[in-house]
Amino acid sequence: MARTPLMAGNWKMNLDHLEAAALVQRLYWELQDANFDYSKVEVVVLPPFTDLRSTQTVTDADSMHIKYGAQDVSTHPDGAYTGEISARMLAKLGCSYVVVGHSERRQYHGETDQEVGQKALAAFGGEMVPIICVGEPLPVRKSGEHVAYTLAQLDGVFAELSGELARDAVVAYEPVWAIGTGEVATADDAEEVCAAIRVRLGELFGGDVSQRVRVLYGGSVKASNVAGIMAQPNVDGALVGGASLDAAEFARICRFHDHVA
């Protein structure tokens, strides 16, 4: 089955709502200038919560094909959870995607696989697609246990989801040692774990689900290395941090088809 590649820009805690509007507009122009074909590559930006309304306004005004989503969601539908944001609130702002279980949330906020699974469930409840992040820290990579570690995270998260839901999820493999470090995993490293993720999804939910779910790679992706990563059979896209804050660079990443691997 052909899986449409997905290029998602995770802005993390950068840009206020005015800067966000400007960046989305610039990205749109960059892609427009290049006659970008959105039917071949899905383009998504993931701004901070406070930028979502401006992002919605700008994308709606010009009927852009750029989609957007949030970087986190509460497991709770509503209630006394100060500081949290529910799936319904995000859906109302037109979000298509929600990142769940990013390593920075796991590391600084102690999120467990079970909680990440519940967040994925909450995203589905709001008819949004969760981008479920998994990936090993450096000591695990050095010990050679990176596949087992990442698959254990995957098992823990997907234990919360039925096959009916799992088939529409997106998984992002982000080795922690490659995030924001400039240390990009080789295309073979990315393929090794992304392929193992697909095999495990097949074991859990069957071949239909595993062939359908998009598996992204994330960690120091740039225009200069994206083509080699995207040439791998089990890599269906990229979750891009730093490089997504530069409209021209992110547009070049989205146009990976134009590069020679």
Q: Which residues of the chain form contacts with ligand 13P (CB under 6 A)?
A: 10, 102, 174, 179-180, 218-221, 239-243
Shortest Å distance, C-beta 240 to ligand 13P: 5
Shortest Å distance, C-beta 258 to ligand 13P: 20
**70's torsion region: left (phi>0), alpha (psi -120 to 50) or beta?**
beta
Nearer to ligand 13P, 219 or 237 (CB): 219
Nearer to ligand 13P, 58 or 221 (CB): 221
Shortest Å distance, C-beta 246 to ligand 13P: 11
Closest CA to 47 of 96, 103, 120, 109: 96
Nearer to ligand 13P, 154 or 221 (CB): 221
Nearer to ligand 13P, 161 or 172 (CB): 172
Selecting among 30, 111, 115, 174, the annotated active-site residue is 174
| Residue in the shown chain whose Cβ atom is closest to ligand 13P | 241
Nearer to ligand 13P, 48 or 205 (CB): 48
Is 102 in the active site?
Answer: yes
Residue entry with tokens 């609130």: 89
* Token duo for residue 167: 């088939």
Q: How far is CA 126 from the centre of its chain?
A: 17
* Contacts of residue 101, Cβ cutoff 8 Å, sequence gap at least 6: 111, 113, 116, 119, 120, 132, 133, 134, 153, 157
Instruction: Determine whether 125 is exposed, middle or buried from the number of CB atoms within 10 Å of its CB (0-12, 13-18, 19+).
Output: middle
Identity of the residue numbered 159:
A
The per-residue DSSP string of 158-226 comes to HTTS-HHHHTT-EEEE--GGGSSSS-PPPHHHHHHHHHHHHHHHHHHH-HHHHHHSEEEEESS--TTTH
Closest CA to 27 of 240, 173, 226, 229: 240
Shortest Å distance, C-beta 204 to ligand 13P: 24
Nearer to ligand 13P, 120 or 239 (CB): 239
Shortest Å distance, C-beta 162 to ligand 13P: 26
Is 174 in the active site?
Answer: yes
Closest CA to 41 of 220, 260, 250, 261: 250
Selecting among 30, 42, 102, 136, the annotated active-site residue is 102
Q: What 3-state class would DSSP assign to 64? A: coil
Shortest Å distance, C-beta 2 to ligand 13P: 25
- Active-site positions? 102, 174
